[in-house]
Structure 1
Amino acid sequence: MLKAIPAGAGVLGEQLQVAVEELAAWMREYGDVAPHPSQDVDLGALEAATADLRSRLRDNYPFHHPRYAGQMLKPPHPAAIIGYVTAMLVNPNNHALDGGPATAAMEKEVVAQLAAMFGFPPAPGHLGHLTSSGTIANLEALFVARETHPGKAIAHSADAHYTHARMAHVLGIEAVAVPTGPDGSMSLEALADLLASGRVGTVVATTGTTGLGAVDPVHEIVPLARENGVRVHVDAAYGGFFRLIADDTPDGVAAAPFAAIADADSVVIDPHKHGLQPYGCGAVLFRDPGVAAHYLHDSPYTYFTSDDLHLGEISLECSRAGAAAAALWLTTRLLPLTSDGLGEVLRPGRRAALAWAGLIEDSGELALYQPPALDIVTYLPARARLSEVDAVSAAVLAQGMALPLDESLHLATYTVGGASLAARGHRVEADVDAGRILRSVLMKPEHEAAVPDLHAAVLALLREV
C-alpha cells in the first residue's frame, strides 16, 4: 500500500500549485481571456474577509484530532483534497457529459470499483452513480423501491437511520420500523411476521447503524425476503467500506452480512465517511441496470454531445460537483478498494474499538453497553439508576469539552431506555423513561494509539463528577 500523503510535509500545497499552473496553461491554449471588471474585488477587503473566515472556522471542534471521538467526522485525505480542488478549478458538472466529460468518466470508473467491492456484476450488470449525500442515495433507492413495488411499504430496523422514514414520507410510501434484538440489529422473527402479511415490498438492511454501529444479518434477511417476493436494499452508508475487512479475523469484522450484499437489489455507501472524502459524496448502486427505466426523462438542451450514458439520465439530482468524482478517483488510485489498500486504513479503528471495549469491561467504573460490531463503542457510567446514568454521562460530555484545548475530550451521547439496558444484561433501575449513555466513534486510524489516553481521560472526568 502506498503511504498516505503527509498533510504537513508540503506535498499538498506543492501538488495544488502544480495543478493551478498546469490548468492555467491549458486554459491559455484557448486564448487569453481578460477578467471582467465586474468581478474585481478590493485586495485589502479580500485579505480582511479571508482573515475573518479563518477566525470563524476556529469555532469548530477538533475533528482531526484523536481526542475527538464524538460524531462521524474527520478531515478528508490529502489526496481527496488535491483531487477536489484541482477539478474545482475547472468546475465541471457531472449531470451530463456536456458539463463534465472527464469527471463523468472518472465517476463511472469509481462506481465500477464500488460495485466490484460489493460483488455486483461488472457493467453493464449494474447501474449506479455518485450523489451529494447518503440521504439522497437512499432517497433514490427508495424511489426505485416505490416504482418497482407500488403500494407496498418499506421495512427498516427500528435503529436504522431516520432518513428512511423521512424519505418514505417524501415519497408518499409507508415505512415500518422492525424491532431490534439485544445487539441492536433487526429481529428476524419480527421481520418474518411482517413479511408474511404481504404488506412490504422492500426491506432495508443496515450494515452499520449510525447510533450503535450494529450490523443487520443481511445473509439471513435476503433469503427471507426472497421467500416472500420482497426486494432488499442495503444501507451501507456508514459501514459499507468494512466490506474490505469483512474476513472474520481478529481485527476484521463479520464476513457473512457483508458478503451477502452481493445478493441485494441495491446498496448505498458514503465515501465521505470511511472513504476519506469531503462532504458531498454519496453513492447508490443497483444490481439490475433495468431500473434506469424509472429515471426516464428528457431535456431539450442537455444530452446532445454524446450517445453514451449521461449520469443525469440515471439520477434524480441534476447538477452535481464533478470535483467529488475526481477526489474519489484520485484517492482510490493511491488507496485502492482492497483489504491491503483502504482496508488497512479501517483496521486501526476496528482494533481501537475492540481495545477500548476491553478496557471498559475490565473497569469497575464503566460498563460496555454492547460489544462493538464496527468502530463505534457505547458505554455507561456504573450507576444504579437510569437518571444517574443520564446525569453523569451528560456531565462527562460537557466537562470534557470544557477542558483546555490541548486536553479537551470530545465524546457523544446516545439515548436508551430501561428495556434496552435490561435486554443487554444491565441492572439499572429505570426510574426515568430514557437516559443518555456515552458513545465514541473511532473512525480515525490515529485512535488506535490514543485509546489508553481516551480511557484514562473518561475515568478522570467520571471521578470528578
Structure 2
Amino acid sequence: MRQAKSHAMDSLSGLVRQYLQQMDIDTNKLHPISEDIDSLLRTGKRHSQANWAAHMTPAVSQLAALGQLVAALHQGNLLSVELYPELHQIEKTIFDFFCPLFGQKTGHATHGGSYGNLDALWQARKKFGNVSNQVYANEYCHYSVAKACDILGLQLQLIPANSSQQMDVEALKRACSQKTPMAIVATAGTTSSGQLDDINAIKAIIEHSASWLHIDAAWGGFLSLIDNSPLTAKVLGQADSVCFDPHKSLGQPRPCGLLMYQQSLKASAVSAHYLAHTPRDTLTGSYGAELLLPLWLTIKTLEKTGLAHQLETQLEQAGQFAEALNEWSGWWVQNSPTGVVCFEAPQHKNLSSLVESGIFSITELAGRSVYRAVFASPSTRHEALINDLVPFR
C-alpha cells in the first residue's frame, strides 16, 4: 500500500481525478508513467515538510494550486485584452492591492524577478541612458542584475557590503562622485542572507541626479504586507521601480512576479497590426491567467490580514530558530529581517547530510561558507530543524 499523502495532496489529487473523469480521459493510458508521476509528487511533497528550509521554494498553497488549474483551463491572453475583460479586471485588482503597499502607481505581471530586473533597467536606460551607462548594486545582489546589464550593454559595478551584507553607503557615495549612475539597484532581501539595503540613504545620494532607483524586492517585498516592518510604502515609494516575487514568500506557483513603477509605461512603438490594442512597452509579451489567477484567488480569499498573519508566523519561527542556536556553545548565528538565518557549526561538525536532504543550504558570506535556513514556507517549524541539528551539537 502506498503511504497516505497529506490532506493537501489528497485534495489536489482528488481535483485532478475529477478533471480526468470530466474530460473522459482514459487513466489507463497514464499507467506506464504512473511511477514517474508518483516520484514527482513525492519530491514536491518535501516542500510541505516541517524541516524544509533549504531554499525559497515553499509548497504551493491549495488556493494558488486551484487558481493554477483554472488558469490552465482558461488559457486567455491579455495581448487581446478586449476578448478577456474578466482577466483585465483581475489584473487591475492585483495591482490595486499591491501598488499602495509598495508606494508605486502602476505595474504589470512578470515571469519572475530576473525578468523584473531586466525590464526595470531597460526602462531606466530609455530614460537616463543618454546620461550614463553605469549601474551600481550591492555585491550580494542577485545574479540576474549582472545578466540584465550584460544584455542591455550596461556597465555594472558591484559596491562592497558592510558586515551586515548591506551595500556600503560610503562606498556608494564615493562611486557616485566619480561617475553618476544611470541606475542603482538596491536589494531588499539578499538571496544569500535576507538583508535589506539602506534605501533611505541610497535615495539621498542620488536625489538630485538623473538616476533611476530600482529595488529588487523579489524576496523581501513581502514585508510590505506587515505593519511596522522596515519596508513601508514610504520607503519603497522612493524608488522608480520595484519588483516582487510572490512565488518566493506567498506560496504561489512559478511563474509569478510583479513589477511596479512610479510612472505609467507608454504604448510600444512597434506596430502589431493583428492586435486591436497596441501592447505596452514591456518585456512581457503574451501572458494571462497563468500569471494572475493563483495570486488573485489568494489575495481575494486571505486578504492582507490573513497574508500578514502567515508571514509574521514565518518570521517568528525564524527568530525562534536563531535564538535556539544562539544558546549552543560554539555556534555562530545571523538572523535577518526577512526570515533567512545563516549559521556556522563548530569546525569539526559536518552538516553535509542535512544539505543533501534539502533541509539546509550553503551560501558564502565574506569569503566563508555558512549554512542557511530559509523560512519561506508557513509549514516550516524551528523545532523540527533544531531536532535535526541535535545530533551535531
TM-score if structure 2 supplies the norm length?
0.89
Match of 1:141 among 107, 120, 126: 120
Q: Which has the larger radius of gyration?
A: 1
Equivalent residue pairs, number: 385
Residues 157-179 of structure 1 show CA distances to partners (whole Å, capped at 9, x for unaligned) of 00110110111001111111111
TM-score if structure 1 supplies the norm length?
0.76
The answer (yes or no) to whether the contact 1:152–1:199 under 8 Å persists in 2 is no
Matched ranges for 1:26-425 at <5 A? 44-59=28-43, 62-98=46-82, 100-120=84-104, 126-150=105-129, 151-247=132-228, 253-255=229-231, 259-289=234-264, 291-292=265-266, 295-302=268-275, 304=276, 312-336=279-303, 338=304, 340-368=305-333, 370-383=334-347, 392=349, 395-397=350-352, 399-400=353-354, 410-416=359-365, 420=366
Deviation at 1:445, TM superposition (A): 2.1
- Range 58-67 or range 141-150, more displaced: 58-67
The answer (yes or no) to whether the contact 1:209–1:238 under 8 Å persists in 2 is yes
Amino acid at match of 1:180: A
Give the alignment's Cα RMSD to 1 decimal: 2.8
The answer (yes or no) to whether the contact 1:349–1:444 under 8 Å persists in 2 is yes
Amino acid at match of 2:285: C
C-alpha spacing 1:165/1:16, structure 2 compared with 1 (3 Å): same
Deviation at 1:101, TM superposition (A): 3.4
Partners in 2 of 1:452 and 1:59 — Cα distance?
22
Residues 305-355 of structure 1 show CA distances to partners (whole Å, capped at 9, x for unaligned) of xx6xx6x4242222224232111111110122x2x2211110111111111
Amino acid at match of 2:336: P
Aligned to 2:372: 439
Structure 2 residue runs without a partner (length 5+): 1-6
Taking only the aligned residue pairs, the percentage that are identical comes to 24
Deviation at 1:230, TM superposition (A): 2.2
Aligned to 1:3: none
* Residue 388 (structure 2) pairs with residue 457 (structure 1): yes
The answer (yes or no) to whether the contact 1:335–1:342 under 8 Å persists in 2 is yes
Bigger relative contact order, structure 1 or 2 (CA pairs below 8 A, ≥6 apart): 2
Amino acid at match of 1:414: T
Structure 1 residue runs without a partner (length 5+): 1-5, 25-34, 36-40, 121-125, 248-252, 403-407, 421-433
Partners in 2 of 1:90 and 1:228 — Cα distance?
46
SS in 1 for 2:98: helix
Amino acid at match of 1:222: K
SS in 2 for 1:129: strand
Partners in 2 of 1:91 and 1:203 — Cα distance?
37
Amino acid at match of 2:272: S
Aligned to 2:3: none
Partners in 2 of 1:346 and 1:327 — Cα distance?
18
Deviation at 1:81, TM superposition (A): 1.1
SS in 2 for 1:220: helix
